[in-house]
Amino acid sequence: MNSHSLRETAAVALSLLDLTNLKDDCTPAQISALCARAQTPFGNSAAICIWPRFVAQARGILGADHPVKIATVVNFPSGEMEIADVAAETREAIADGADEIDLVIPYRALMSGNERAVTVMVTAVRAECMAPVILKVIIETGELKDVALIGRASELAIEAGADFIKTSTGKVAVNATLEAADIMLRSIRQSGGKVGFKAAGGIGSVADASLYLRLAETIMAPDWAMPSTFRFGASGLLDDILVVLSGGQSSGAASGY
């Protein structure tokens, strides 16, 4: 990839980035810094993705109707909370100012053959996410592993009303992979619905990002990827984006979430 197209990819990736801090020891000071980092000299990231306890703080910093959206996580990262608790967590996050909810499905239940657990969970949280709130459903592909299971989890999430399907929490050994992305994007195409895709965890460079964008273009359509249909969930990717947009060289190395 030449430097011109790499820079174009970096600009696109910035517009699709959910700049993330889901570290267990995240502090209010780090959230303030994240809100500032999301607004770069080259444009804004699509969103920040943070723990529910920080949503009200971030909304206070960004104000109403800010172009940088606030995403938060529920049933995270285990996927094993009670439905009523997840619904309450979702309601509270939206009341605090969340624009987007990233929900972990009960993936272990699915692995044991319980498809209904996924449908019931996604349906319940979907009911809390009134427009314009966006629901992204995390299927934890690195734990599901099996091609058929990843495909089925994608189908169940889409059928239950997901606006996006997302690869990973970033909290397990294997996070986003191109193989999982391929299965999920094909599930979206097959559904015929207006559903987006989010690759999360392990995407640390513009070179990495370009592979996912190229895959989306191949399976869906050229120019399909935009903030309403495609996101990257990452903490380290912004650093590489800014290097490339400033005229430097992409690190080309993957990193953690």
DSSP per position, 85-147: HHHHHHHHHHHHT-SEEEEEP-HHHHHTT-HHHHHHHHHHHHHH--TT-EEEEE--HHHH--H
Other CB atoms within 10 A of residue 120 CB: 15
Q: Among the residues of 129-255, which ranges form H helices?
A: 141-144, 147-159, 178-191, 206-219, 237-245
Instruction: Report d(CA 239, CA 203) in Å as an integer.
Output: 12
Scan for tokens 């000299």, then name that residue. 41
136 tagged catalytic: no
Q: Residues in the chain, how many?
A: 257
Instruction: Report d(CA 105, CA 108) in Å as an integer.
Output: 9
198 tagged catalytic: yes
63: amino acid identity, one letter: G
Catalytic residue among 166, 171, 208, 240: 166
Contact (CB, 8 A) for 182 and 219: yes
Catalytic residue among 18, 99, 102, 208: 102
Which residues are CB-contacts of 95 (< 8 A; sequence separation ≥ 6)?
none
Which residues are CB-contacts of 49 (< 8 A; sequence separation ≥ 6)?
18, 19, 20, 21, 22, 71, 72, 73, 100, 102, 233
166: amino acid identity, one letter: K
Instruction: Report d(CA 161, CA 157) in Å as an integer.
Output: 7
Catalytic residue among 18, 171, 198, 208: 198
Radius of gyration of the chain (CA): 17
Provide the annotated active-site residues: 102, 166, 198
